[in-house]
Amino acid sequence: MNHHELVSRIMDLKKETKTVIMAHNYQRPEVQDVADILGDSLELARLARELKEERILLCGVRFMAESAKIVAPEKTVLTPEEEAGCPMADMISAEDVRRLRKEFPGYLFMAYVNTSAEVKAEVDLCCTSSNALALVRKLKGEKIFFLPDKNLGSWIKDQTGADMEVWPGFCYVHNRIRLEDLEKGRAEHPGAEAIIHPESPLDVLKAADAVLSTGQMITYVREAQAKRFLVGTEEGMIYRLETLFPDRDFYPMGKRFTCENMKKITLEKVFQALLTGEKPINVDSETIRRASRSLDRMLEMSR
């Protein structure tokens, strides 16, 4: 099947099987192009619950599909590739959290959504890169243990002054962005605004014009006066921005950074998942019950 036939079969199968394709902003361009809904982690989790359709094919890494299943357990959530995981999410286990709870009594445990369902079941509250700062500001005075991303945690601590302990996990994609990348980009593209994802190192975040989730980048660019942007995040977002704003210019901050895990999902695998209905995400009911408390609390607090 050539590319055109593959896309056409995917479009037919979506209708025949009444499946909604949700895709994260870091997906391959050709996967973004067949998606019904594109978004960041918060947008995908929120919409997974609100959708009237009962069947979702989630193109993103595993924790995103698990989150959709946790917030909408009655729906069938499929993944095109079970092996698409997030290395940062694998940097902390449920056992680690149980141990830390004993070491840090009285702390509120807050997990970035980039964690397994089992870890979400152990914490008090989840957050995404869109709402982490706002949630911590609402938790005035609480002592917080933040996990697993040291960069996002350091950024929140820096911006809010909260009493926080931070687990030393990181995203291997964003953690490679350097201050020199930003400075070189500014020198090469004078006038470009530097927008960056908060999984990047703190010194780069502090030097940027705006620190934003991928969803917030879209709003920011839409409202900005600037026509040129240096973008510090995974390369899929540059395609997304170029598609939405063809009259603006977007340059990667440093080289084009790629998340190999997100890219494990291909158009062929999307087709196979729709055709066979295989690879449903299963999370046991007790984990769903416990993990949904921290995810629901997040959704409730970020209304």
The Cα 32–Cα 38 span in angstroms is: 7
Question: How does DSSP classify residue 169?
Answer: B
Q: Which of 178, 184, 192, 179 is nearest to 231 (CA)?
A: 192
CB nearer to ligand SF4: pick between 19 and 115: 115
Among 70, 171, 288, 291, binds ligand SF4 (CB under 6 A): 171
The reply to whether omega before 168 is within 30° of 0 (cis) is no
The Cα 199–Cα 175 span in angstroms is: 7
Q: Which range touches ligand SF4 (CB under 6 A), out of 67-75, 81-89, 90-98, 244-252?
A: 81-89
234 sits near ligand SF4 (criterion: CB under 6 A): yes
The Cα 103–Cα 213 span in angstroms is: 31
Shortest Cβ 245–ligand SF4 spacing (Å): 22
Q: Which range touches ligand SF4 (CB under 6 A), out of 82-90, 91-99, 206-214, 264-272?
A: 82-90
What residues between 3 and 62 interact with ligand SF4 by CB under 6 A?
Answer: 26, 61
Q: Which range touches ligand SF4 (CB under 6 A), out of 11-19, 83-91, 96-104, 186-194?
A: 83-91
CB nearer to ligand SF4: pick between 98 and 255: 255
CB nearer to ligand SF4: pick between 148 and 185: 148
Residue 275: count other Cβ atoms within 10 Å of its Cβ.
13
Inter-residue contact 169 to 150 (CB < 8 Å): yes
Among 259, 267, 274, 281, binds ligand SF4 (CB under 6 A): 259
Shortest Cβ 268–ligand SF4 spacing (Å): 21
Residue 43: count other Cβ atoms within 10 Å of its Cβ.
20
Q: Which range touches ligand SF4 (CB under 6 A), out of 166-174, 178-186, 209-217, 291-299?
A: 166-174
88 sits near ligand SF4 (criterion: CB under 6 A): yes
Q: Which range touches ligand SF4 (CB under 6 A), out of 203-211, 223-231, 257-265, 279-287?
A: 257-265
The torsion angle over the Cα atoms of residues 98, 104, 108 and 113, rounded to 10 degrees, is -50
Shortest Cβ 114–ligand SF4 spacing (Å): 5
State which amino acid sits at residue 147: L
Among 136, 152, 173, 217, binds ligand SF4 (CB under 6 A): 173
Among 68, 164, 238, 262, binds ligand SF4 (CB under 6 A): 262
Q: Which parts of the chain fold into alpha helices (H)?
A: 3-17, 29-34, 41-50, 62-71, 94-103, 117-120, 132-138, 150-160, 179-188, 202-207, 214-223, 236-244, 267-276, 285-301
Residue 38: both structure tokens together: 């594109």
Among 25, 79, 114, 292, binds ligand SF4 (CB under 6 A): 114
Inter-residue contact 167 to 147 (CB < 8 Å): yes
Q: Which residues contact 78 (CB under 8 A, 6 or more apart)?
A: 19, 55, 56, 57, 58, 65, 273, 277, 278, 279, 280, 281
111 sits near ligand SF4 (criterion: CB under 6 A): no
Q: Which range touches ligand SF4 (CB under 6 A), out of 168-176, 177-185, 213-221, 274-282?
A: 168-176
Indicate the SS3 state at residue 93.
Answer: coil
Among 87, 160, 176, 228, binds ligand SF4 (CB under 6 A): 87
Q: Contacts with ligand SF4: how many residues (CB under 6 A)?
A: 14
Which stretches of the chain bind ligand SF4, using CB under 6 A? 26, 61, 86-88, 114, 171-173, 199, 234, 259, 261-262
